[in-house]
Amino acid sequence: MPRRNKANKIVRSQILMRDNCDSKNQYLTKKQATEVAEYQMLINFNLELSVYKCESCYKWHLTRQSKASNKPNQNQI
């Protein structure tokens, strides 16, 4: 009698992480994500976007930082 394939157990944290990805823009390739990031940065010069591959959905997302946040504090000068 053949063995049954056991269903993979999905960890609850993985399910929650995938739910978080549903609200984000997802890109199938790094090239697509990079093109969108470059276009958005052309529209808004104060925006700095980076591309990263998500470990839960294995697609590409954008993350943003304000260029103003990269300015040194007055305490550091």
Q: Tens digits of per-residue pLDDT, 1-24?
A: 666 666 555 554 444 455 678 889
What percentage of the chain has pLDDT greater than the value 90? 44
Could you tell me the two tokens for 10?
Answer: 């999905």
Question: Cα(48)–Cα(27) distance, rounded to whole angstroms?
Answer: 18
Is pLDDT of 34 > 90?
yes
For the ranges 1-5, 68-72, 73-77, the one whose mean pLDDT is highest = 1-5
Q: Which residue has the tokens 């946040």?
A: 69
> Given this model, what pLDDT does residue 21 score?
82
Domain ranges of the chain: 21-67
Question: Cα(38)–Cα(3) distance, rounded to whole angstroms?
Answer: 51
